[in-house]
Amino acid sequence: MSKRIAVLTGAGISTDSGIPDYRGPSGVWTRDPELAGLFTRKHFLANAGVRRRFWRALTLYDDVEPNPAHLALAELERTTAVRILTQNVDGLHQKAGSTPRKVLELHGNLAATECMRCHARTPTAEVLARGEDDPACTGCGGVLQPSIVLFGQHLNAGVLSHAANIARASEVFVAVGSSLGVEPAAGLCAVAAESGATVVIVNRDPTPYDHLAATIVREPIGEALPALCTELAG
């Protein structure tokens, strides 16, 4: 049984929950390439039209539930030391039962919204309940942004350092549902491999880090990850 397992999860793990990925055949950026350029921090702050499109897109996350892949990782935690490093902002790992302190959200979480002027934080559900297409801070009128990392923003240095330490300490590093095309999160695969971890990649399409993997799984994540978790649990 492996004692220390780190799992990097990307958008592909949540597609079975009804949230589209970004770069797959039916991905958000694939269907509308303009969105990738629009959802940058610069455009979000400067353009009310971009913000309106962004807030409308949040309806994709309404009432989503964890799928078998999320549940398998939560179950694996019962028998094995597991840390989850997720690029996702949907909170589904915690909803599936993974211990919140063992889930490191590299790109933030949609659950909270922050004012870019006074930095007041509000539950995103309360902001959405106002029904406004471009909600502003009720305190100072500043632009509101969910507490996630947009294109053009840097990852929190402390969070990234913590993630790198987890990758270095892992005996098995599993990358699931990620194109591994967005740095620096994708580089955690190399950090783990250089420290001697066995790398496993579960993804439908090839990734830039496939050459580091001892095992590559192309089967659907909802089927492949539960089977892999059973194997890792011994």
As annotated, the active-site residues are 107
C-beta separation of 21 from 176 below 8 A:
no
CB-based burial, 58-81: b 16+ in 10 Å, e otherwise: eeebeeeebbbbbbbbbbbbeebb
Backbone angles phi, psi at 114, to 5 degrees: -125, 140
Tell the burial category of 222 from Cβ atoms under 10 Å away from its Cβ (0-12, 13-18, 19+).
middle
> How far apart, in whole angstroms, are the C-alpha atoms of residue 107 and residue 148?
5
Nearest to 9 by CA among 103, 95, 80: 103
- Structure-token pair, residue 175: 């990358």
Name residues whose C-beta falls within 8 Å of residue 227's C-beta, 6 or more positions apart in sequence: none
- The two tokens of residue 19 are 């949230």
176 C-beta neighbours (distance < 10 Å), count: 23
Question: Residue 8: how many CB atoms within 10 A of its CB?
Answer: 30
Determine how many CB atoms are found less than 10 A away from the CB of residue 218: 11
